[in-house]
Structure 1
Amino acid sequence: MNLVRAELFKVRTTSLWWVMGLILVPLYAASLLFNWATASAGSPPPDSGVSDSQQAQFDAVMQPINVATNLYTSGQFMGVLIVLLLCAIIVTSEFFHLTATTTFLVTPRREAVILAKFGAAVVIGLVVWALTTLLNLIFVPLILNSLDYGSQLGEPAVWRAIGLNALAFVLWAVLGVGAGVLIRSQIAATLTLAILYTVGTSAVGLIFFLLTEHVAKWFENLQVLIPTTASQLMISGTELPANPPRWVGAAVLIGYALLAGGLGTWITKNRDIS
């Protein structure tokens, strides 16, 4: 615990955490407004030209419980990006400020240091989740009441989605530390992760769409291998048509986190730090 507190102290003594916090607030607001606008728009009419499977997906997403779970988890997409970057910087800042050698001299067991960084990352992920969830619990009931859906807080699926959203933030935090171990440059890690998360997600999604349309329909189910898609799938209120079960999204994200955590620990233990 002392090592975890030390890692959190390093984060608190820099301006980085509140800069990220200031960035998160407008991004959260934009996410909430976008989800509200999507819920208000509703499903396209049957004669809009979409396929039957797409229409079924739209209709399922617009069910009150799915609208509610989407709104109560608003801020996940950009929130986990902030967590990803912050947790990568937990590692890269050691090399940026040339404190890595000192850290490992003070605590020679390198695996203890990296586990402390994972612990600090989990705390950061949960703090950001708690902040966005608190804001959602304040504003979303007002939005749902304006849509005549009621608050939906009596539905177990809503609380399950909120809980799984916490798991998603934790898993992305672990991914951030693992990425920081692989990319030791602070600037390179920040730029690479931000670009891969935003542009890369859209690019890979487009590739899967083209494969689905022009090669085989089963490629559509493989989109769950995209980490952001897995995150969204695991917090849906109900099983969605033409999508894998929610547990598949959770399993994919857990797999990425275990791989990043194991690889990060092994590399830190065996790689030359100086």
Structure 2
Amino acid sequence: MNLVRSELLKIRTTSTWWWLALGAFVSIALAFAFNAWYAVTVLGGDGAEFGASAQQSTPAAQAANIYTSGQYLGLMFVMLIGILMVTNEFFHQTATTTFLTTPRRTSVIVGKLVAASLLGFFFWLVTTLIDLAAGTIFLSLNDYGTQLGEWPVQRALLFNLLAYAIWTVLGVGIGTLITNQLGAVITAAVLYLIGTQVVGLLFLLLSNVLDSEAVLKWQVIWPAVASQVMIAEGTSEFTPSWWVGALVLIGYALVSGVVGVLLTRRRDIA
């Protein structure tokens, strides 16, 4: 617990997380506005124009989408926090002091993983409270009700929490793999933002080559896609079930945590 508290102190005493929190807030505002417009369009009977299935055209499905607004960029921001928790040690040359104070490197990384998960929970809590406040007002004014008693909405909120916790863990894993702070941040951001679009394009081309739309379901192997799949309500021929996305993301978290511990135990710290 002392290691966890020290990691949280390191984050609180820097201004970086404030900037990331501000970015998350802006992304929520933009995403909520779009999701609200989309919900009105789909629930108004025009969902077919946007490829929405029957399951996705229900008030519960759209409420789940509204209550998780801002997830896409929010997950990137918590991933960057996880990266900074590790790379700051090398950037500010405090890694030697940290590992001399706590020679058991596994304990240090586990402390960072736990602290990262707590930060992920904090970001999820704040963003969810904002979404709930705005979402309940919006849905009630449009006579759809809050939909909070529906399981699809509850599942989306719970698995959104899982996504935030896992992406901070993934950030710690990336930080142990690429210790250069600038390199790790740029690489992770590019892979998340641009890589996701590239993966979608590649699978679209592959489906055309193989003449099989079922190939599109395999996009779920990309973690950013898996995060969206596991909170979405309703499946189609292009989207796997929500539990597939959850299993993929949990697998990434386990691999990332193990790799982070092994790399740190073997690495020479000057």
Q: Same fold (TM over 0.5)?
A: yes
The aligned residue for residue 190 of structure 1 is 185
The aligned residue for residue 122 of structure 1 is 117
Moved more, 86-95 or 152-161: 152-161
What displacement does 1:44 show?
Answer: 4.5
- Distance (Å, rounded) in 1 between the aligned partners of 2:190 and 2:47: 36
TM-score (norm 2): 0.94
Count of residue pairs the alignment pairs up? 266
Moved more, 108-117 or 201-210: 201-210
The aligned residue for residue 145 of structure 2 is 150
Any idea what SS the aligned residue of 2:69 has? coil
- Distance (Å, rounded) in 2 between the aligned partners of 1:260 and 1:152: 36
- Distance (Å, rounded) in 2 between the aligned partners of 1:35 and 1:45: 13
- Distance (Å, rounded) in 2 between the aligned partners of 1:58 and 1:81: 28
Q: For residues 239-250 of structure 1, what are the structure 2 equivalents within 5 Å?
A: 239-242=234-237, 243-250=239-246
- One-letter amino acid of the counterpart of residue 152, structure 1: Q
What displacement does 1:132 show?
Answer: 0.6
- Distance (Å, rounded) in 2 between the aligned partners of 1:149 and 1:270: 56
Aligned partner of 2:252 among 231, 234, 256? 256
Alpha-carbon displacement from aligned partner over 1:109-164 (angstroms, at most 9, x marks no partner)? 00000000001100110000001110011000122124332110121221121111
- Distance (Å, rounded) in 1 between the aligned partners of 2:127 and 2:104: 36
- Distance (Å, rounded) in 2 between the aligned partners of 1:145 and 1:136: 14
Any idea what SS the aligned residue of 2:144 has? coil
Aligned partner of 2:218 among 222, 242, 265? 222
4+ aligned runs moved over 4 Å, structure 1: 43-46
Task: Say whether residues 1:92 and 2:96 are aligned partners.
Answer: no
What displacement does 1:218 show?
Answer: 2.4
Q: Is the 8 A contact 1:11 1:17 kept in 2?
A: yes
Q: Is the 8 A contact 2:200 2:219 kept in 1?
A: yes
Compared CA separation, residues 109 and 162, structure 1 to 2 (3 A): same
- One-letter amino acid of the counterpart of residue 15, structure 1: S
Q: Is the 8 A contact 1:60 1:241 kept in 2?
A: no
TM-score (norm 1): 0.93
- One-letter amino acid of the counterpart of residue 255, structure 1: G
Calculate percent identity across the aligned residue pairs.
45
- Distance (Å, rounded) in 2 between the aligned partners of 1:188 and 1:91: 13
- One-letter amino acid of the counterpart of residue 205, structure 2: L
Any idea what SS the aligned residue of 1:20 has? helix
The aligned residue for residue 78 of structure 1 is 73
Give structure 1 stretches of 5+ with no counterpart. Answer: 49-53
Any idea what SS the aligned residue of 1:184 has? coil
The aligned residue for residue 51 of structure 1 is none
